Chains A and B, each alone.
Chain A
Amino acid sequence: MAVSKKHTGVRLRYASPRQAAEAAQICIVTVTGADRVGIIAKLAIIMSGANINIVDVNQKVMENYFVMAMAVDITKASADMAKIRKLLDKAAAEMSLNITIQNENIFKAMHRI
């Protein structure tokens, strides 16, 4: 999926970036697909159900195409990554979206020297 130039400069902001990176296990959830009502609501329900704190959300709608990156803290999650992924996969299938979840360290490793 193409990311528009419009996104340049849009940053995910953690409440306290340094502390968050050290103390918490931050994962980045991404959602792409056609826009519809209730995407964030649905994700929020899944997250709260698994005791996952949503730290930050950035989203854009480009020509009815929905692009979102959500930072979540899974330190106190009641489910492991495999279970969380399963829940998100189910939601993705229901809403015909693409949803991914990845530990943020992978983005740091790839995009920061």
Chain B
Amino acid sequence: MRISVEEVFETVRMTLDHHFDIRTVTLGINLKDCMDRRVDKLAGRMRKRIVEKGKLLNKFADFVEQKYGIPITNRRIAVTPVALLLEPLPRKISAAVKIAKTLDSAAKEADIDFIGGFGAMVQKGMTAADEILIESIPQALSGTQRVCGFLNLASTAAGVNMNAVAKFGHTLKKLAARSKNGIGCTKIAVFANVPEDNPFMAGAHHGIGEPDFSLNIGISGPGVVRDVVSQNPDCDLTKLSEVIKRTVFKITRAGELIGREIAELMKIDFGIVDISLASTTSAGDSVADIIEAMGVRRMGLPGSTAALALLMDAVKKGGAMASGNVGGLSGTFIPISEDAGMIRAVRDGTLNLEKLEALTSVCSVGLDMFAVPGNTDAETLSAIIADELSIGVINNKTTGVRVIPAIGRKAGGIVHFGGLLGSAPVMKVAKTASPEFINRKGRIPSPVQALRN
């Protein structure tokens, strides 16, 4: 096996100049066997397992990072959906909050930056424990630093649970009011067709179809893709798709190698590689920049959806060729606050909420990390969520929403979250939209799977 100098330098340039990194290694941990009728017993067992395995994850991630010289930016843990663990416990919000605090302190002790799974699968209906979990969210997520939550509110098989969607609008308002700048809302995402093995926060959890442990890896590299797109300014779109595929193939292979090696060292199953292009606030690490490098003058202008569709498909094809374990969300994220190009497009007025929604119909994961004025009513938040989840339900794909009501801010302002979460411009949205529709509640039935036009 001979590696040419050119190939060596291609890889080196990816990490040195274009921010190629392993965005996250996420350890999935089953906690079902920790369940108990006494909250202290459950908390004790959870904590022990999370701390022990979390420390191991960090140790081996450090080792592999040194070995391959590719940064592993985040080390995370995803646990069994917490609503399940609440089932045998007394029906008290305080019990759910205690579990959230246990997750938080265990993650802190193991030096794990985010721990996901504080959530429930309620696409068809809610158990009493699910309701307790949802009601505890404002307290649980505003009172912790590292805990992330998710709710699956819809699926193609079940339709959209509008009871839960309506309830969540109010939950979100309360959570925003309880945390500074609404930062608590950055830690919860709601989904249609949520994947059980997604390594990215806020939606990561260890689904009920998973083994005791699994090691999932999220690669990244929008900077790398933007670079190859920029280097091919004149080729047609067929060729451009090829170029992107080849690049994504390479970064996926790197991700798989690193994921498998960490899983092997930990003696656990390797789960999946999530090949999503995930932007960061660093200059050049932006999905909007790729779209603009393709020739769209500004993200959000006509052409953006087509360009994003091409990008998304090329990413999937390259990734699927590279690894048999592609899973999770695998596509392209277009969060607003974490992507400098997306922020610029909102500020320039080329990208509004309506166009963002259109873009999400061709890409994962949905309306992500955007702020709306703090006085937006709960029913309008629910209606935004219902719209986005319907796109996922009808099109048989994952869609999600992570929206931050920016208390005290109006459209055109900006909220700063800091670090990886970035800064979100406050987007214009109707203050009141569809309260009568949302308050009907019930369930939007699952769609017919034939007659697909």
A85-B2 in contact (CB<8A): no
Distance between A27 CB and nearest chain B CB, rounded to angstroms: 8
Quick check: is B66 within 8 A (CB to CB) of the other chain? yes
- Bound state CA distance, A85 and B317, in angstroms? 35
Complex partner residue of A1 from B6, B9, B15, CB under 8 angstroms = B9
A100-B3 in contact (CB<8A): no
B1-A108 in contact (CB<8A): yes
Complex partner residue of B2 from A3, A7, A11, A109, CB under 8 angstroms = A11
Chain A: CB-nearest residue to B15: A100
- Bound state CA distance, A69 and B7, in angstroms? 11
Complex partner residue of A11 from B4, B12, B16, CB under 8 angstroms = B4
Quick check: is A38 within 8 A (CB to CB) of the other chain? no
Complex partner residue of A108 from B3, B9, B69, B70, CB under 8 angstroms = B3
Residues 1-44 of chain A: 1 if any B CB is under 8 Å from the residue's CB, otherwise 0? 10100011111110001100100000010101000000000000
Quick check: is A65 within 8 A (CB to CB) of the other chain? no
Quick check: is B8 within 8 A (CB to CB) of the other chain? yes
Using known A-B contacts A106-B257, A109-B253, determine if residue A3 contacts B1 with beta carbons closer than 8 Å: no
Complex partner residue of A69 from B5, B68, B69, B250, CB under 8 angstroms = B5
Residues 8-28 of chain B: 1 if any A CB is under 8 Å from the residue's CB, otherwise 0? 111111011100000000000
B3-A111 in contact (CB<8A): yes
- Bound state CA distance, A67 and B5, in angstroms? 9
Task: Please classify how large the interface on chain B is, using the bins under 10, 10 to 19, 20 to 34, 35 or more.
Answer: 20 to 34
B8-A30 in contact (CB<8A): yes
B residues less than 8 Å from A18 (CB atoms): 1
Complex partner residue of A17 from B2, B12, B15, B257, CB under 8 angstroms = B2
Quick check: is A103 within 8 A (CB to CB) of the other chain? yes
Q: Interface residues of A: mostly helix, strand, loop or mixed? A: mixed
**B: which residues have CB within 8 A of A?**
1-13, 15-17, 63, 66-70, 250-251, 253-254, 256-257
Complex partner residue of B1 from A1, A10, A69, A112, CB under 8 angstroms = A112
A residues less than 8 Å from B251 (CB atoms): 110
B residues less than 8 Å from A28 (CB atoms): 3, 8
- Bound state CA distance, A108 and B2, in angstroms? 8
Complex partner residue of B66 from A11, A80, A105, CB under 8 angstroms = A80
A81-B2 in contact (CB<8A): no
A residues less than 8 Å from B7 (CB atoms): 107, 110-111
A8-B8 in contact (CB<8A): no
B9-A69 in contact (CB<8A): yes
- Bound state CA distance, A80 and B5, in angstroms? 25
Quick check: is A91 within 8 A (CB to CB) of the other chain? no
Residues 66-87 of chain A: 1 if any B CB is under 8 Å from the residue's CB, otherwise 0? 0101000000000011100100
A residues less than 8 Å from B10 (CB atoms): 3, 111
- Bound state CA distance, A110 and B7, in angstroms? 9
Complex partner residue of A98 from B4, B16, B67, B253, CB under 8 angstroms = B16
A13-B2 in contact (CB<8A): yes
A106-B5 in contact (CB<8A): no
Quick check: is A102 within 8 A (CB to CB) of the other chain? yes
Using known A-B contacts A85-B66, A106-B70, A110-B254, determine if residue A100 contacts B4 with beta carbons closer than 8 Å: no
Using known A-B contacts A30-B12, A109-B253, A110-B250, determine if residue A102 contacts B69 with beta carbons closer than 8 Å: yes
A residues less than 8 Å from B15 (CB atoms): 100
Listed by A's residue number, 9 A-B pairs whose Cβ atoms lie within 8 Å are A1-B9, A1-B13, A7-B6, A10-B5, A18-B1, A100-B69, A110-B251, A111-B250, A112-B1
B69-A101 in contact (CB<8A): yes
Distance between A13 CB and nearest chain B CB, rounded to angstroms: 7
A residues less than 8 Å from B256 (CB atoms): 109
Distance between A38 CB and nearest chain B CB, rounded to angstroms: 21
- Bound state CA distance, A105 and B11, in angstroms? 12
